[in-house]
Amino acid sequence: MGNGFLFQAVIYLSAAVICVPIAKRFAMGSVLGYLIAGMLIGPFVLGFIGHEGKDIMHFAEFGVVMMLFLIGLELEPAHLWKIRKQIIGVGLSQVLITTAVVMAIGIAASLLWQSALAIGFAFAMSSTAIVLQSLKEKGLMKEPSGEFSFAVLLFQDIAVIPIPAILPLLVFLPITNSIDTHGAGGIEELPKWLQTGAVLAAVGVIVLVGRYAIVPMLRLIAKTHMRELFTASALLIVVAIALLMQQVGLSPALGTFLAGVILANSEFKHELESDLEPFKGLLLGLFFISVGASIDFNLMYAHAGTVAVLTCAVIFIKAIVLFLIGKKAKLSLDQNLIFAIGLSQVGEFAFVLFSFIGSHNILTQEQTDMMMAVTALSMTISPLLLIVLDKWVLPKVRAAKNEQTTKRADRIEERNNVLLVGFGHFGTTLARFLRANGVVATVLDNSSDQVDLLRKMGFNVFYGDATRVDILEAAGAAEASILIIAIDSPETNLEIVKIVKQHFPNLEIMVRSKNRMDTYELLDEGVENIYREHLDTSIRLGVDVMKKLGYRTYSAFRAGQNFIKYDEAALRTLSKNRKDMKVYISDVREQIALQEELLQSDRQIVPSANDHAWDSKEMRDKILEMDNQKKK
C-alpha cells in the first residue's frame, strides 16, 4: 500500500491541504507551508514517503518549468529591452560578485579552484519560485524591491545557459554516472566544445520553433474548437522544450521561459496562460513539498555544525552582496532589505547544477550531498526570514524613516482655504482641475521623490507627513475650511481623519476611498464626504454605453446620477449591519432589488421634451427643420 501511486497521492495532497492553510493562518505564506508539509511526511520525520521523494522532485520541477513559461508569456521582448539595464547591471553584478566571493572562500577552505567555482555558480542562484510567490502574496511586484528582484532572477535564469556549458571545462576527474542528471543525455560523450555547441544549438532551435512552428500549430488546433486538445498542446509545448533542454544538460525552466517570451506577442497568450495555470500551481506546490521531503536530516545531524555554518554563511554573503548592490542603485532602506533578504536563499536551479556537477566529479558524492542539504535548508529558512523582516524589522525601519522625514519637512508659509493631502495620480488630477478653476490648495505629500518630480513639472507641493499634528498646523489646518485626503492607503486616510477630528474640528473632510469596506470605516468616524475611486468612472462608462446604444444623452446622464444617489443611500444603510455577515448579505440583496426598482420607475417617467437638447445631432436636426420652415 505504501508504495502505491494512489497512497502517495493521498499523502502529498493531504499534507498540502493540512499544512498550507495553517501556515497561511499564521501569516507564514504558502511556500513555507509546503516545505513544512514535505519535512513532516518525508523519510526522516513521519516516513510516509521514502527516498523516492527525490525522484518526485524531478517530476515536480515541472511546476518551476511552467511558472517560467507563464512568466515568459507575460514579458514581451520590448519590455525586456526596456529593463535591460536592470537585468544586465544588477543581475550581472549579483551573479559575478556572489560567485567570486564564494569561490574565494572555497579556495581558502582548501577546495580546488574548479570545485570552488562550481559551488559559487550554484550558490549565486536564488529561488525564482519562493521569491516571486512571496512578492506576489505581499503585493510587491511593482515596488522597487520587486522590480529589482525580478531583474536579478531573470538574469540568473539567463545565466543558466552558459553555466552548464562552462562546467564540463572544469572537469579534473574521470566522469561517472553516480548521480542522475535527469536527462543530460548522450552529449556527455561528446568533446567539450561540441557540448557547448549543442547547448547553443538547442537555444537556437527553441527560438526558431517558437517563432515559426508553434503558432501555426496552435492555429490549426484552435480551429478544432476542442478545449482539451488545446490544453494538451500547451502541455506538449512545455514538456517537449523541457526534454530538449534536458538532453543538452540545461535547466528546462530556462528553455520554457525563452519559449514564453517568444509567444508573448501571439494571439494565444491568454489561452496558454489559463490552460497551464492550474498545472503550474499544483506542480509548484508538489515541488516545494519534495524539497522539504528531500532534506537529509541524518546528514544534517551527523554534520550539524558544518551544515548550519555553511547555510548561515551563504545566506549572509548573498544578503550583503545584494544589499550593497541595492544601496549602489539607491534603493530606500526598507526596499533594499526586502530585496537583499528575499533573494538570499539558494535556488531550485542549484539542485540541477549540483547534480550536473556531481555527475562530472567536480565535487565528491559527500560534498554534493552536503551542498544539496545547504540548498534545501536555505530555501526552508528564507520564508522565515521574510516573516521576521515583515513583522519586526520593516515596521521599525519605516517608523524611523517617517520620524526622520518629518524633521526635514518643508517650511510652509502660504495659507489657503483648501488643504490637499496626497499628490499621486488621483491628487494631481484633482489639483489641476481646482487650479484651472481658480481654486488654490496647499498640497502636502510625504514622498520626497514625488515632491521633487512634481516641482520640476511646475506644481507647488510641500514635503511633509500629514499624520503629524505639527505638520498640519504648519500647513494652515487651523485657518482652512476644507481638507481633501487623496492618499492611496486606506489605513493612512483613516488615521488622518481621526487626527483631524480631534485637533481640527473646524475642517470639513473630503476623503478618497478605495472600496465599500473602506467607506464603512470612514462612515463610522462620522465622515460625510466620501468619494469611492471607481464609482464615478464605472458610471461614466455605463452612461457612454447607453448613449452608444441609442439612449438620449440627458436620459443616460440622469440614470447615472440617480444610480449614484441610490447607491450612496444604500451604502449608509448597509454600514449598520456589515459585521453580521448573514444579515449583511440579506441587506445587500434587498438594497440591490430596491435600487433596480427605483431605476426602473425612473425610466417609466416620460422624459422631458428638452432631453434632446443634450444631443448635438438632435439640436442640428431641430435647427435644420426650423430653417426649412422659415424658407417656406
Confidence band for 346, pLDDT divided at 50, 70 and 90: very high
- What cell numbers appear for 351 in the block? 539542485
| Mean pLDDT of all residues in 122-136 | 85
List all residues 6 or more positions away from 383 whose beta carbon is below 8 Å from its beta carbon.
Answer: 28, 29, 31, 32, 35, 130, 134
* pLDDT (average), residues 586-608: 76
Whole-number Å distance between alpha carbons of 138 and 30 = 12
User: Distance between CA 159 and CA 250 in Å, rounded?
Assistant: 11
Q: What is the mean pLDDT of residues 233-250?
A: 78
| pLDDT tier for residue 218 given thresholds of 50, 70 and 90 | confident
Judge contact between 90 and 150, C-beta under 8 A. no
Q: What is the pTM of this model?
A: 0.58
- 22 pLDDT above the threshold of 90: no
- Residue 622 pLDDT level (bands cut at 50, 70, 90): low
Tell me: pLDDT of 482 over 90.
yes
The DSSP result for 332-376, as a single string, is: -HHHHHHHHHHT-SPPTHHHHHHHHHHHTTSS-HHHHHHHHHHHH
Contact 20, 10 (CB under 8 A): no
Strand order in the sheet with 529-532: 461-463, 441-445, 418-421, 482-485, 508-513, 529-532
Q: How confident is the model at residue 55 (pLDDT cuts 50, 70, 90)?
A: low
Q: In this predicted model, what pLDDT tens digit does every residue of 349-406 receive, in sequence order?
A: 787 678 678 767 888 878 888 898 898 889 888 888 988 888 888 887 767 766 555 4
Q: What pLDDT is recorded for position 134?
A: 80
β strands within 371-440, DSSP E: 418-421
What pLDDT is stored for residue 313 in this prediction?
A: 95
In this structure, how many other beta carbons lie within 10 angstroms of the beta carbon of residue 541? 11
- Residue 315: pLDDT band by 50, 70, 90 thresholds? very high
- The C-alpha angle 425, 427, 428, rounded to 5 degrees, equals 65
pLDDT value, residue 1: 45
Residue 9 has pLDDT above 70, yes or no: yes
If one counts every other C-beta atom within 10 angstroms of the C-beta of residue 262, the result is: 21
Tell me whether strands 441-445 and 529-532 are parallel, antiparallel or unpaired. unpaired
| pLDDT computed for residue 517 by the predictor | 84
Looking at the predicted structure, is the pLDDT value of residue 249 above 80? no
- Predicted pLDDT of residue 194: 67
Least reliable range by pLDDT among 179-188, 438-447, 516-525: 179-188
Query: Could you tell me how many helices (H) and strands (E) the chain has, helices first?
Result: 30, 6
Would you call 374 exposed, middle or buried from its count of C-beta atoms within 10 A (0-12, 13-18, 19+)? buried
pLDDT surpassing 60 at residue 174: no
φ, ψ for residue 509, nearest 5 deg:
-95, 130
Report the candidate in 540, 551, 563 with the shortest Cα–Cα distance to residue 614: 551
Q: Quote the Cα angle for 539-541-546, to 5°.
A: 90
In this prediction, residue 107 has a pLDDT band, given cuts at 50, 70 and 90, of: very high
In this model, does residue 286 exceed pLDDT 60? Answer: yes
- Asked whether residue 318 carries a pLDDT value surpassing 60, the answer given is yes
Q: List the domains of the chain with CATH numbers.
A: 5-399 (1.20.1530.20), 418-617 (3.40.50.720)
d(CA 114, CA 119): 9
The DSSP code sequence of 97-149 is HHHHHHHHHHHHTT--HHHHHHHHHHHH---HHHHHHHHHHTT-TTSHHHHHH
What is the pLDDT at residue 122?
92
Average pLDDT over residues 52-72: 67
Percent of the chain past pLDDT 70, that is, above it, reads: 82
Average pLDDT over residues 410-414: 67
